[in-house]
Each structure stands twice: as C-alpha cells, then as structure tokens.
Structure 1
C-alpha cells in the first residue's frame, strides 16, 4: 500500500520511536501547574459601549501543550489564535429588513504540538499547519416568512451549523468538532477552521422545534490570506450537505454529505493506478440531552456517530460521547466541566500500512479528555485540560500519549 495524497486538515507525523526526556516532563508539569494555580477571582462582567446595529468582538486564545508521556516525542509547544468579528444587523443599520452580515478575521501562530504527539485526529483545535492572518468568514443572511426561512451566502464555517453539538464545544480535541471522517475530505479540507469556502445555505424551521437545512459548498476551501486566495473557479466540484433535526429539550439530528467530483483514493496498492477516483460521501447522527442531577444546572450529555466511504481518507467513521456540566463548583457560576471520549475508525488498509502488515492492535485511535474552564478576571478564562490517546494513528507499536494543556482566553475590549 502507498499513500496517494496528504491528510487534509488533520495533522500526521512520520512514525518514529518515542524519546524519553525527564526534563521536558518536569518542565511541562511545572508550567501547567503554575499557570493553573493563578489566584481566581469571582466572576464579573462589564458592558462595552455599543453602536446600534453593530457588534464587535475580539478573542485571543493561547494554549500551552505538553506531551508528558508517550507519543513520538515528549515536549512542550505553544499555539495561539486571535479572532476579530463584526456582526451587523442590516435592518437597523440600513433599513434592509431581515438581513444580517458577518465579517470574521483570524490570525494563527502554531507550534504544531501534534508533531510530538503523532495522532491522526489531532490534539488541539486551534493548531494549524502554517502561521497566517486571514479572512475567515464573510457572509450575508436574509430571512423570510417571519424568520422561519433563512438563506446565507458567502464564506461560512460549515461546523457552525452542521454536525455540531453545543455540549462538546468546550473540549479541545479536534474530533469533538466536526467528525474526522468529514474533516479529512476534499483537496484541502471542507469549509471549517482554519479556512472556509464559498457557501450557499438554506435553513427552514419546521413546526415549533424542528428544522431542515442544506448547503452547497465549494469543494476547495480558501480565503484571503491563503496562498491561492478565494477559489471562484470551483474546479474541485461541490460538497453537498443536508441535515434535519429536532430541538425541543435537547437536540436530535441526522445529516448526509456527498462530494460531486471524484477524489483520489487515499491508499493505492503497489502498481495500482487511480484513474477515476472515488466519490467521498457519508452520514452522521447526533443527540444532545440535558439531564437533571439535583442542581440548578443540568448535565448536558451528547453522543454522535458518523460513517464515510472509507476510500478517500484513512477514516471509515467514528464516534464521540461526553458531557458538559455548567457551574459544578458552588460559588463559581462561570465554571464549566466537560468530558469526552472519541474514537476514530480507520480503514483496514490504512491500519496494515501504518503497522507494516502487523495484524495486532486495533483499526482505530481512541482519545479521552477531561477539562475545566473558569473565569478568573472579567476578561480572562483559564482552562486546564488533560487528554489520553491510545493507539496513535492505529499503530499498535507507538506508546499511548498523555497530553496536558492549559488554555488562556482573553476577551479583548
């Protein structure tokens, strides 16, 4: 077997034996512990002066990520992300009834911590391959029929509305965003972080609590700030996606996606030629439900599963389960605790490739995550995080990885 192309939007490191570094382990633990023990203050809030019809927001996120045991190599890496967004109510600004718009910029600097961990699904959801400043989203949305029908056009993040669980949003592992079997598709990934694509999305409310939505998305992602800029030729076809859901007390949804143009097969046998390629397609089901546990704030549980063709990426599917518990500590109303388990299901051919023909081990990669986030100042949130990843990239020979992280989020005035 041979790889026929790179993984798209999923970081993969060459397989090598892990090195042992006691210094790195001690330094990582000390840095993370010192930062996590910063004195906390009670939550506070403040309101910035508002311009009628305009909402300006800015968020800076910095992560210190340490592979303290296992993986390919122990060590510490830092990565950060700056986002600035302007949301406009065009009805209030210009008298354009039922219209709104969004401009969203971001700037990434990444130490690429997954180069040390060596996972196939990633360990950090703001890690990028290249440091860039770019236009991330630029769209306009028009509502009709008393806002029961909404049409969006422009550069938009697909995962903001499709294949999305709010209860998984605090978790740092990328697999808890959009499913890996979809995230790895396309010539450079679908329209998700860190690059979006031209999109047309229609969403229709059904009854009181239901919805159906569908989108047509350029098959190649690219924005201003990327080397090729915005792709307007659409030579790579389109990604078609649809989802239907019900949101009375939680969320129950199912979706289907399919590319219109054949894509190269991810793995080819020796001497095999991929003349036609394959159509990448898949489906997913997700559920989210609040559960009362005798406190003011319920525990929000989620579960989801996705499947794909298994020909154009190393994934044939995956599942994720977990939960979000707001305010678990008395006197800390802004605290949030989250936990999750993710499992990326790999194709048998890919497993044989990375294990060099060994039949031992599993055709999967499994991750466990625990995290807690809390407001320590009106503008600052701290979030220590721990992840344990088994069978990195489906290779039974690689030692399981223990990853400690500290996320600092600053809301900028």
Structure 2
C-alpha cells in the first residue's frame, strides 16, 4: 500500500510538471512559422523564458507619381526596425517592470518632397533625413494588476495617443498621428521618426471599460540642426508638449451575428473605442502671417472606431470603421482642422483569411490666417485604397493607390495620382 501511494505521488508530480512545461511551451511565440529566421536554434525561446524578446522588421516601398503634383517619377523607400523588450520581473524580480526600446534605420528617396509636394505626405516611412536612431527607449512600471502604468524615457506619443488601431493598415502618414498635431512645433511633436524625453501616466478603471492617460514631453524632439543619429537634449527654450486622452473601451464580446449557441472556433476580432483628447505646447511660435509670436498652440480631438460586423463562420474576419477629427490653433499652423474616415475588412476574399483591405479619406482644412497670407486653396484631401496580402506569416505585399487633391493647398498644383506597393518581412 505504501509503495502504491509513492507511485501515485510520483505519477501526479510528473503529470503536473509535464502540464506546466506544456503550458509554458504554449505561451511561447511561434517564431518558426511567424518569422523568416525562425527560433535561432532555440536561442529566441531561451531568451524569452528569461524575459528578453527581440523583433526585427523590414519594409520596402516602391512608389510612382503617375500624374500631377511636382513631377512624375518612381522611387524606393526603406525602413528597418529592431525592437527590444526586457521583462525585469523575470530577469531580476522587479514586479511589473519592463524596459522597451526601438532602433530604426531609414533610407531611400524623399518621395513626397521630390515628386508630390503634398501637405499630408504620401508614405509613412518617409523621413526628412536618412539616418539610424533610437525611436523609443523607456522604462515602464505597472501597479495594481496593470491598472496604473508609469513610463519614463525616450517616448513617442503616436504609439498610444490619437491613433485608432484600425487605421494602421494604410500607407499614408495621416493614419498615424493626425496632421493638425503632426504639423505643430519645432521639429514636430514626439512622433515617428523622433521620440522625446517624456513621462507618461495611464489609468484603467476596475472593469477596464474606461482609461485616462497623459504625457509630458520635451517640446523639441531631437536636434533640429542635426538630424543624424540619436540626439537627446533639453534646451531652455524648448518648452514642453502636453497631451491627455480619456477613452471608453467596453469589453470584447462574441459577435451577435453568431448563430445562437454556437461556439466560435476562432478568436474574435472586435474594435470598440471612443476617446477625446487635448494637447498643448508651452513655448512660443511664429505666427503664420509674420505678425509676431504666439503662446497659444493647442488642440482637441475625437476618435471612434467600431467593428461593424464579423463573419458568422469566421469571427476573426469582418468589417471595421474609424472616424477621427481634431482642431488646432490657426494662427501658428497651416491646417486648423483635419478629419479622417476609413473602412477596413479582414478576409474580404474567400480563402485569404489574413488579408486586409482598406479604404480611407482624410481632409486637412487650411486655417483662415494661412489662406489669407498665401492665397491658398481651402483644403487638401487624400484618398487611399490598399490591400495587404499576407503571402506567408512573415511576408506581406501591400499595393496602394492614392489620390492627393490640392497638394499642399497650393492652387497652382494639379491633383496627384500615386501607385505603389509595400513589401514587409518579419525576421
């Protein structure tokens, strides 16, 4: 009897250890399928278990301006990105603490500057200066089961603020940070490709239906006089940039279009967010009409995104939409408001379950001060239709067609048609 008890205990312990090992294995990312370079002979898995995660992505865009704008032409743009995440709880026992960094290299043509001349831009990986630099490098500490989060370091506001998740499919820049914010400031706010020294606080309600977050950053990211490499400096005249956002994100649920009593065999993709935000610079800015400097450079914005429906048999597929609108001080900015509307469909074509189709339009309105000083058009409007074909889990091809009307709100420029494609590889 004693031997039987010992045998049962040994078997139970073995089963428990086996179950734990299987659970840990199930939690690991599937690098063999999802990346070109795989698990590096098990090194990635070993690092991940210790709290270190590495990711590498390359994007190559080939674009052609076939009509209008500044001139016709074809160009290539490239963006390579390395991401580093360190879970200090696993590494050193520091509960809820992580370090995250992004380093990127950007090469290629200044396509919008050379061929189109638009106010909003054409490609979200186009940069003013070809260089390699740290985009983000910060430490984050979470409290109370992740309901309070504090972040400090080199940070970019467009990773969390004023960006609907559903707009990320598009190539045009205004579907990242909206133009009425992106245009503001000296060297712009802390958005791609430049982060800035910052602190950020985020709070979530107990049910995680509501959130509030705010960030304070250096008013001038990088060094406007030298755009090469990573530059972190705090000059007396920089001032600060403040942004705050309050949002409602109800819990995700099984789509109502599923048959009664049916169990979803796929993870449901659901988008449901409504938010309002406010931003302000503390420094002085030159007036658009040359009448001196102004202290006021601020704005407010609204975001809404929704899943309109999920496919009955495939709840991970379906149609979602986003709407975004924001205003900015017209005395110091070219655009005094902008608005975006877009649709995104995952799995539009049968058998292409991971492909995503998108259709969007953005309008930037010229402020009264700018129009009077420049005799400009009243607005610039950009349209984009795109289709991201997921060829393999780690390789995607994404053709795009764009129409840019009234480029840079310049009455002398013709509407531009741009076609091209993005090629993206996850290493």
Which TM-score band applies after superposition, normalised by the shorter structure?
0.7 to 0.9
**Do the aligned partners of 1:135 and 1:225 also contact (CA within 8 Å) in 2?**
no
Shift of 1:324: 1.4
Pairwise mapping of residues 217-232 of structure 1 onto structure 2 (< 5 A)? 217-222=217-222, 226=228, 229-232=231-234
Tell me, yes or no, if structure 1 residue 383 matches structure 2 residue 381: no
C-alpha distance in structure 2 between counterparts of 1:299 and 1:217, whole Å:
36
Mapped partners of 1:376, 1:190: distance in 2? 35
Structure 2 SS opposite 1:93: helix
Match of 1:316? 336
Max radius of gyration: which structure?
2
Whether 1:252 and 2:274 are equivalent positions in the alignment is: yes
The partner residue of 2:325 within 294, 297, 305 is 305
TM-score by length of 2: 0.81
Q: 1:1-400 alignment to 2 at 5 Å?
A: 45=34, 48=39, 49-50=44-45, 51=47, 52=49, 53-114=51-112, 115-208=114-207, 209-222=209-222, 226=228, 229-248=231-250, 250-268=272-290, 272=291, 274=292, 276-292=293-309, 294-295=311-312, 296=314, 297-354=317-374, 357=375, 362-400=377-415
CA distance in structure 2 between the partners assigned to 1:63 and 1:243 by the alignment: 33
Query: What is the distance in 1 between the residues matched to 2:425 and 2:155?
Result: 24
Q: Which moved more, 1:334-343 or 1:230-239?
A: 230-239
SS at 2:357's partner residue? strand
Q: 1:283 to 1:294 in 2, by over 3 A?
A: same
In the alignment, the residues of structure 2 paired with residue 60 and residue 141 of structure 1 have an alpha-carbon distance, to the nearest angstrom, of 26
User: 2: distance between equivalents of 1:79 and 1:378?
Assistant: 23
May I ask how many residue pairs the two structures share in their alignment? 360
Q: Which runs of 5+ in 1 are unaligned?
A: 1-43
Instruction: State the Cα deviation string for residues 175-226 of structure 1 (Å, max 9, x = none).
Output: 1111111101111011011111001000000242110001111101018974
* 2:240/2:282 contact within 8 Å kept: yes
Q: How far apart are 1:227 and its partner, in Å?
A: 6.4
Looking at structure 2, the residues matched to 243 and 378 of structure 1 have their Cα atoms a distance apart, in angstroms, of 34
Distance 1:197 1:267 in 2: 29
**TM-score (norm. length: structure 1):** 0.83
The equivalent residue for 1:407 is 422
SS in 1 for 2:237: coil
Cα deviation code 1:231-285 (max 9, x no counterpart): 13353110111000011150000000011122222332xxx4x1x4232100000
Moved over 6 A (4+): none
SS at the partner of 1:195? coil
Equivalent pair of 1:343/1:366 in contact (CA under 8 Å): yes
Distance in 1 between the 2:66 and 2:227 partners?
Answer: 34
What is the CA distance between 1:353 and its match in structure 2?
4.3
1:347 deviates by 1.4
Partner of 1:30: none
Q: Does the aligned pair in 2 maintain the 1:301–1:323 contact within 8 Å?
A: yes
- What is the alpha-carbon distance in structure 2 between the residues aligned to residue 338 and residue 119 of structure 1? 21
Deviation of the 1:132 alpha carbon: 0.3
By how many angstroms is 1:350 displaced? 2.3
2 CA distance for matches of 1:93 and 1:236? Answer: 37
* Alpha-carbon contact 1:110-1:129 (below 8 Å) kept: no
What's the RMSD between the two structures over aligned residues? 1.9
Structure 2 gap segments, 5+ residues each: 1-32, 253-271
Aligned residue for 2:261? none
Range 378-387 or range 215-224, more displaced? 215-224
- Identify the structure with the greater helix proportion: 2
What SS does the corresponding residue of 1:185 show, helix, strand or coil?
A: coil
